[in-house]
Structure 1
């Protein structure tokens, strides 16, 4: 759902497919959430829809997923874009579950806390607003409230509850710096100007990818495609024409 503001605009010039990774959105509860599982899911969508070497854009944690596809199946895609994500574990850790999330997932009150957080839109709205940055064009007014409700609605499903608690207690999806440096397909980096921590390090992403073309969404935080959908689209369109393979 985070792509719902940008995808229709991008689709005016090209086919666009937004994928719910396993354990998120309305995807089925599968108990298979490893990086290999998620990259296989993305490749499966490419094959099922007979997409001809698409460019994959991975936001935040999704950067690791599209990076894994690029490593394992470079001949099936045209390139990748890391959007607000460097594909690495946070704070240099080896991908262990975040301590707070893991603790909550293990408590007997985990389900109650989860339902409390997703039952009303007030709390999620505050999180989305904080992640937008100085501007948040996509969440203005009643339309923004409806969009937040659309994002949160699938999280209220029973299977989503199980999936979220399961994934919270698992290692985060990530690549190693060596794996990112091994990516050879055309690639680019797109980052919100005010996103300092949400998806890792922009400088690290650019360095490990060999300083590919990059673009900035002004005044945007981690949710750069929500903060300024038009600015994100312009930046992405500009990058798609400048991407080159690794040397």
Structure 2
């Protein structure tokens, strides 16, 4: 009996060692490229583009299993021509580090509000993608004095009864998160990486350079699994609390969705949310979930059409507004 148990122990240690190795390699491939700011509970990694630009700044908040290169891949540089653009690795993601308990949606919003204050930004436009949209909504509700408005791209904005298929592997009970993160999560992620990315981007193709230029490689780390599993399990309760307060929203909210989004339902997370938030607007374009990467021209045009953002788009137009 001791021999089989010993073999199991060796196998588990081997998986943990290999997972750590893959995680280090991912961080070497996608290194930190910005600055770090200590806020209560975290050290946030951020990239500050064109800090001398006039006009309202733009803060961009990425989604689940993502990091700030989701925005710098194709979209942020277009906006940084004439705006200060700050790209944020959410607390616990990318190269940001935690100094305490893992934060949920509302706690992350408080940390980003602290970053906005520390950088002395004068009410920036906050752009949130996917789960970053949920964080942005919490920021607008809890700290409206810190933001000019919210621009939500394919946001998680409602309680979703069924976890999207690409993220079902994150549904394990919290007691198993650490074990799975250091044993099977990374090997499974490597084996199914292309399939998972295709499902998230569908029906749009995954760019060939997404792993590096888009930061996709950083999803293959124990750290990323732990953050993702925590957020997927905590999201229903936190989203229910946010949805109940949508009538209180006092900052402008605009929503952009791809009609063929295969991750989040545009009718539920787009049209319904726009109807529940006073004055909110929604626009639909042809595309999937990863609009900042796959439809950067249309996303830029939409952003530049929002109040307070100069209309100096490089081309393209939003096809229609609902």
**TM exceeds 0.5?**
yes
Distance 1:140 1:154 in 2: 16
Q: Which has the larger radius of gyration?
A: 2
CA apart distance, 1:111: 2.8
Going from structure 1 to structure 2, the CA distance change for 1:168 and 1:75 (only over 3 Å counts) comes to closer
| Alpha-carbon distance, 1:102 to partner | 3.4
8 Å CA contact 2:270–2:282 kept in 1: the answer is no
Instruction: Please give the root-mean-square deviation of Cα atoms over the aligned residues, in Å.
Output: 2.9
| Structure with the bigger percentage of strand | 2
Identify the range of structure 1 (73-82 vs 165-174) with the bigger mean alpha-carbon deviation: 165-174
* TM value normalised by structure 1: 0.79
Equivalent position of 1:204 in the other structure = 272
| Count of aligned residue pairs for this structure pair | 230
With the length of structure 2 as denominator, give the TM-score of the two structures.
0.62
> Which residue of 2 is the match for residue 182 of structure 1?
248
Measured after TM superposition, the shift of residue 126 of structure 1 is: 2.6
Say yes or no: does 1:153 pair with 2:153. no
Runs of 4 or more, structure 1, over 6 Å off, are none
**Counterpart secondary structure, 2:256:** strand
The answer to whether the 8 Å contact 2:125/2:150 transfers is yes
- Gapped runs of 5+ residues in structure 2? 1-68, 310-322
Q: Any conservation in 1 of the 2:124–2:148 contact (CA below 8 Å)?
A: yes
Going from structure 1 to structure 2, the CA distance change for 1:38 and 1:147 (only over 3 Å counts) comes to: same
Q: 2:255, 2:280 within 8 Å by CA — same for their partners in 1?
A: yes
- Give 1:102's aligned residue: 171
For residues 107-186 of structure 1, what are the structure 2 equivalents within 5 Å?
107=176, 108-118=179-189, 120=190, 123-136=192-205, 139-141=206-208, 143-147=209-213, 150-153=215-218, 155-156=220-221, 159-160=223-224, 162-172=226-236, 173-174=238-239, 175-186=241-252
Distance 1:66 1:146, change over 3 A: closer
Q: Which digits, 9 at most, give the CA deviation of each residue in 1:4-23, with x for residues without a partner?
A: 22111111121111111112
1:3 aligned residue (67, 71, 77): 71
Q: Taking CA–CA contacts closer than 8 Å with sequence separation of 6 or more, which of the two structures ends up with the larger relative contact order? A: 1
Q: Which residue of 2 aligns with 1:245?
A: none
